[in-house]
């Protein structure tokens, strides 16, 4: 019998509401397939910060390193500045465990209405492959002449050859494996003098090794416009940490709600645990109301099982999500329904058990 040890960090806000629904779906699917999942909960959050001055204990990363995977809700809540909470928990995990691929699938499901006119299931079906550990996300820089009229703040971006090539290789391999074999790279090489022309050059160099993959590059400004105007054009999108972040909220918004979108923070070499979470955040505006949509979290749970080699569990959970949305069994408000978080979570469990 396969057995996996999963570290669970519900985190802040609706993270604590959606994670239990993800666990219920995992348990239902695992029971069906004879897989044993052991969950260990960590209450690390902004509350921990208020109590201890840290988002996680000093040996937090060491504790997490022993698990097969990490399942996370959301980090950040009013009362702690976002850069403190995120650089105290989520971002160190991505970086310490070399989760350099952030894979974010975007799909329009049957039963959901795209806000874009005349889009049907199949028209929106692509992956955002986001560089996840370097680029614009850096704590290098600082403030000079603080408190004077000459105050200057600098914020450095870092693009290494190794870091750029490995994310591009992952994206090219993914594109190569898909029917359309189409890769679109998002940059801004007209405005950013060093990093983005460098990225474009690495794309061109790698494209030579993938003659079957059709490659294009757009500056991020027109990229966002094109994504809204013709989402069916896209297949695999690759971008830097910041551009990938932006495109992976825009993409799911075009499928009806950002709340269904999953995020897999992957260490492809499996030298460290990978981490699975919804794309969305802690949603302080709806926290505590039992109306958060748990589907992004449940889809992330499915991706976790796929990463752990349990493809049948992944497929069972995905079919349950598709069924519940298609049949409109229990949809939360963001999907124009009136079900609670728990009702939707239970509908997914029921669909798993009926399969």
The residues binding ligand NAD (CB under 6 A) are 14, 18, 74-77, 82, 86, 90, 258-259, 277, 280-286, 292-293, 296, 334
| Subset of 59-78 contacting ligand IPM (CB under 6 A) | 76
User: 248 vs 102, 241, 242, 340, 342, CA distance in Å?
Assistant: 10, 11, 10, 25, 26
Report the nearest approach of ligand NAD to the CB of residue 293 (Å).
Answer: 4
Instruction: State the minimum distance, in angstroms, from the CB of residue 241 to Mn ion.
Output: 10
**Residue 31 Cβ, how far from ligand IPM at the closest point, in Å?**
30
Residue nearest to Mn ion (CB): 245
Give which of 59, 70, 60, 97 is closest to 271, Cα–Cα: 97
249: phi > 0 → left, psi -120 to 50 → alpha, else beta; which?
A: alpha
**To the nearest whole angstrom, how small is the minimum distance from the Cβ of residue 294 to ligand NAD?**
7
Least Cβ distance, residue 318 to ligand IPM (angstroms):
21
Q: How far is the CB of 17 from Mn ion (least distance, A)?
A: 19
Between 249 and 322, CB nearer to ligand NAD = 249
- Which CB, 263 or 332, lies closer to ligand IPM? 263
Instruction: Kindly write out the interface string for residues 96-135 of this chain, putting x where it contacts ligand IPM by CB under 6 A and - elsewhere.
Output: ----------------------------------------
235 binds, among ligand IPM, ligand NAD, Mn ion, none (CB under 5 to 8 A by kind): none
**Stretch 243-262 residues interacting with ligand IPM (CB under 6 A):** 245
Of 33 and 155, which has the nearer Cβ to ligand IPM? Answer: 155
Residues 232 to 261 in contact with Mn ion, rule: CB under 5 A: 245
| Helix and strand element counts for the chain (H, E) | 12, 12
Pairing of strands 101-107, 262-266: antiparallel
How open is the CA angle 66-68-70, to the nearest 5 degrees?
90
> Which bin fits 22, alpha (ψ -120 to 50), beta or left (φ > 0)?
alpha
In the complex with ligand NAD, which residue's Cβ is closer, 71 or 199? 71
Q: Are 248 and 186 in contact (CB under 8 A)?
A: no
Minimum distance of ligand NAD from residue 245's CB (angstroms): 9
- Rounded least distance, CB 176 to ligand NAD, Å: 29
Helix runs in the chain, H state only: 15-33, 46-52, 60-64, 82-86, 90-96, 161-177, 195-207, 220-229, 241-253, 295-307, 311-326, 341-354
d(CA 77, CA 88): 13
Between 244 and 324, whose beta carbon lies closer to Mn ion?
Answer: 244
Residues 263-282 that bind ligand IPM (CB under 6 A): 263, 279, 281
Q: Does 86 bind ligand IPM (CB under 6 A)?
A: yes
CA angle 296, 246, 9 (to 5 degrees): 40
Minimum CB distance to Mn ion smaller for 245 or for 277? 245
Using CA atoms, how far residue 193 sits from 93, 159, 188, 323, in Å, is 30, 13, 9, 48
Should residue 131 be labelled a site residue for Mn ion when binding is judged by CB under 5 A? no
Residues making contact with ligand IPM (CB under 6 A): 76, 86, 90, 245, 263, 279, 281
């Amino acid at each position: 019998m396969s057995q996996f040890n999963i570290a669970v960090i519900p985190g802040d806000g609706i993270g604590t509401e959606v994670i239990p629904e993800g666990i219920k779906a995992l348990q239902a699917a695992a029971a069906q397939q004879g897989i044993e999942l052991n969950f260990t909960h960590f209450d690390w959050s902004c509350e921990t910060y208020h109590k201890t001055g840290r988002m996680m204990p000093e040996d937090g990363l060491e504790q997490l390193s022993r698990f097969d995977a990490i399942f996370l809700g959301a980090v950040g809540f009013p009362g702690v500045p976002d850069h403190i909470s995120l650089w105290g928990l989520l971002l160190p995990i991505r970086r310490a465990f070399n989760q350099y691929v952030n894979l974010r699938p975007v799909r329009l499901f049957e039963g959901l209405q795209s806000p874009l006119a005349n889009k049907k299931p199949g028209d929106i079906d692509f992956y955002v492959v986001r560089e996840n550990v370097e680029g614009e996300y850096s704590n290098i820089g600082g403030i000079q002449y603080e408190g004077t009229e000459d105050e200057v703040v600098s914020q450095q971006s870092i693009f290494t050859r190794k870091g750029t090539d490995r994310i591009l290789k992952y994206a090219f391999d993914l594109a190569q494996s898909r029917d359309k074999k189409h890769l679109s790279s998002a940059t801004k090489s007209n405005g950013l003098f060093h990093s983005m022309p460098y990225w474009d050059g690495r794309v061109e160099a790698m494209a030579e090794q993938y003659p079957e993959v059709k490659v294009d590059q757009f500056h991020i400004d027109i990229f966002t416009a094109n994504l809204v105007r013709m989402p069916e054009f896209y297949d695999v999108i690759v971008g830097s940490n910041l551009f990938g972040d932006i495109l992976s909220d825009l993409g799911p918004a075009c499928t009806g709600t950002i709340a269904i979108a999953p995020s897999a923070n992957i260490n492809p070499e499996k030298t460290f645990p990978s981490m699975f979470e919804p794309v969305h955040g802690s949603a302080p505006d709806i926290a505590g109301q039992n109306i958060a949509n748990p589907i992004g979290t449940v889809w992330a749970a499915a991706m976790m099982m796929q990463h752990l080699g349990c493809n049948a569990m992944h497929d069972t959970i995905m079919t349950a999500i598709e069924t519940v949305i298609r049949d409109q069994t229990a949809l939360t408000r963001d999907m124009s329904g009136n079900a609670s978080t728990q009702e939707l979570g239970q509908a997914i469990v029921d669909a798993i058990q009926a399969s």
